[in-house]
Structure 1
Amino acid sequence: MSELTTAPELGSPEPPGASQASGASEKRILALWCPDWPATAAAIAADLPPHHPVAVLHANRVVACSAPARMAGVRRGMRKRQAQSACPEMTVMAGDDHRDGRVFEPVVAVVADLVPVVEVLRPGLLVVPAGRAARYFGDEHVLVEKLIDAVAAGGVEVQGGIADELFTAVLAARGGHHVPPGGDAAYLADRPVGDLAVEPSLSDPARVELVELLRRLGISTIGAFAMMSVRDVATRFAADAVVAHRLANAAPGRPPSGQVAPADLIIEHRCDPPIDRVDSAAFLGRRLADELAGRLAAASAACTRLTVEAVTERGQRHARTWRCAQPLTPEATADRIRWQLEGWLTGGRPGADDRPDSPVALLRLEPIEVVGAGTLQYSLSGNGLPEDPEIGERARRALVRVQGLLGGDAVQLPVTSGGRGPADQITLVALGEERLPSRDPAAPWPGGLPQPTPAVLMATPIQVLDMLGTPVEVTGRGGFSAEPTTIQMASDGRRRRSWELRWWAGPWPSGLDDDDPTGMTARAQVLLDDSRALLLRYRARSWVVEGVYE
């Protein structure tokens, strides 16, 4: 549980009711932030006590850890072995976005009981309009205390913050601060410029690059960045810098291109038969997400705020509004539908019966705010580092966009698989599906290709010849029928091209030929006189170039 305090640099708290005296208070925003939510969600899903240390890992590194784990010395970015040595009794769990979203739904339900209008920025962070709710409960401090107490009653640590603008309120929630009306710019002025990119749900993935550039230029605070003229920012930095500059000046965080969605973008689906299972809801959510993406694409629009509403056979309604910094892709939309419905259908809220009173009969998707479709055109440029997570995320979003336009199987990812040849050692899996290999890579593969593996795969027919021009084959003993000296390939219907061999290795038999049980399959590596290295494969008594080494 965390208490709401007035930011020290802004003076003493206002008396109750003072913040509601002006018309500007109607637009006040309250943010509730659950620290280290992936670790909290993992502990709740595993039914672990609050005092038990928990860490969530991705790519063998800690991405979130609970307060008891931090007290033992565990920090984000640590490797698994290092973290376990610091806290041996700690429970280590893999990251799971679906678990984070499903477990957060009961928290949202608690807040919605007190303030009906709730917007979820991401699992672990939500915002509500504070103006009218604060008047109803007495003042803003009472409102925050009631919400924090209600959430904390379920065993979830939470902090609250209030400000005029969404971005400021989210930062204030991280410190449990109350920013007086009109004080957003003063509150932001002394904060480090890195805070512009601290919340991923409110920033472009490229914001990290902007922050690093500003630091190199000697701009260390948000206030210093805000003092720059908007003309200089627009001409010297990328487009997202203009949005960040508006946030630094406590201007509304949404771009001015935001607009009300046309009515024909709303999707209503009557479930026949009604849905009462999580897997059925997830499958339907994926289909409706694709349908919504198609309508948005036809309207040259992209959704930045979406309301998902479910209605049961008996008329019970369940609605959530999801707000995102970046336009929702079909995959992101499907995830949010699944998180919301899974949390509702499973009724995970302690001490309350939140399950629907009957199966879901109607599912409705309503885009609340849309922007131009060009916002979905993500760049793949970056600093070129292969382990840069920001570049990988931007590339993934671009691929999701291509998948939404061309179909689910249009984008496929390679997964290391088992096999003897280079093509056999890769399984292509559609983006978004579980990345499981078709063959076990850990199984023994006698006759497998030795390292290194070729960079380019192909299947170009060639002839391997000896010094007399006679075709070279692989014998039943697994050797060459004669010493190879030349390979020959038909470049067109009339002329053949030939290359002399500088070096060769092999052949390595890889088993009997499926097409010719009496024959042998084998591979060999050769180096041509033009310095190219090739992988050759012998099958059905003929040779092909299977790969090129680079």
Structure 2
Amino acid sequence: MTSPPRHLVLWVPDWPVRAALGTAPGDDPVAVMQANLVVACSASARAQGVRRGQRRRVAQTRSPGLRILPADPQQEQRVFVPVLRLLEELVPGVQPLRPGLVALRARGAARYYGGEEQAAMHLIDALAAHGHPGARAGVADGLFTAEQAARLADPVLVVPQGGSREFLAPLPVQALGDEQITALMTKLGVRTLADLAALEVAHVRDRLGERGVRLHDLAAGADSRPLTPQKPEPQLAREIVFDSPLAQAEQVAFAVRQTADAVIGGLTELAQVCTEVRIDLTDDDGVVSSRAWMHPTSFEASDLVDRVRWQLEGMAAQFAATERVGAGILEVRITPTRVDDSAHHQPGLFGQGPEQRLHHAVSRVQAMLGHRGVVTPQVTGGRRLAERQLFQPWGDKTPHERDAALPWPGSLPPPHPSEVFAPPLPARVTAADGTAPTVDERGTLSAPPARIDDVPVLSWAGPWPLRERTWDAAHARIAQRFQIVDESQRAWLALWEDGAWWFEGRYR
């Protein structure tokens, strides 16, 4: 049997903990939890008895000072991307197995750095120099054996060629990572990889099928999995650095035209278009203004220039509000953050539809009037009607922090008033004796409303309490809502707040 090719596996221990902390774990015990179970923990936590798979209560019993962090797989992947880019600069053909674990063919790296151990040490030192100390490396025949070597390394373990079976022999069958089959093997008395490798392949296939045969091959050191190197991501971002700071928005906008053309040109070569972009503006004080911009269809070079200009205008307004002296711009970086296949954005064979024509017309108007020159109404979350209406600049992404789909206790159920007063208008509500009705702290109305703005009341309903931030005495707001219909068939949404009556909206 031909032995598998030599592989080098790099392992950064406790990667979920590192990703959650943003740095290498220190001496304090830390554990990452998912579904109330420990999925990763720091070395100091393991020293106190914390283990993967433990329930939260057991882990906290073992380590009373344990710091609990929630698992975030997307964050782990995101933080690992710079590590991949660093390794790709040092050696070609890096394949990420999962966040914190990568593999590559050992032959090329060993030739370049003068040996397998030297190559592994060079990569470990590079990771340590970039804030990822404690990495380990294993070199062996096949991915599985190299990964097991990396987990036992200190910091590098090289398994001689042809020695995989002897190296794997004492390891427990749990190293195979198949809980269902390894549990059955343990019951059958197969506790180590040597025990499994000693079984006849035909017997394993009869009892466990092809899945068991695959595990048998791994235990025998015959890992035939091919290594598929990750294709490096195309560099879509472009930047321009000015020799001297530019203070005028028009100067910066004119200077970034070629940069915007380069961004769109790079996407065109890949048959892609950009639908969301991040623009970073760095001034001569080192302050970076970063903002994400979204496009209803796809960006063109002129659209990117407009976004740079609008972002500069927003910075100028912010400086004026804070009385800070505006600084000149030294660097502009444009990074496409969301791209799509250009085939999805091609114009129709017989011209453009009404939506495309509308978009181009509105975009031209917005380019002339400015970022907030054209707005679209959006319904957001909130308890008061004025909070729920948002006028969003054309093409901007709707903010998610006020999601209308979330529950908002105290918000008005439909049907809603067709006219909303922002801010609420003063109202004259009187009882039959001519005095203004009041509502006490328990929500009790002193007298029924008889007239509203000197018009007799036909019917009314309420009150419905509206309480906000009651835990904060300085910012608490307590109000009572009423629906009132007068004899002129006008329906009002009235509000009693701070000892006065207000119109919040009107039904039409």
TM-score by length of 2: 0.45
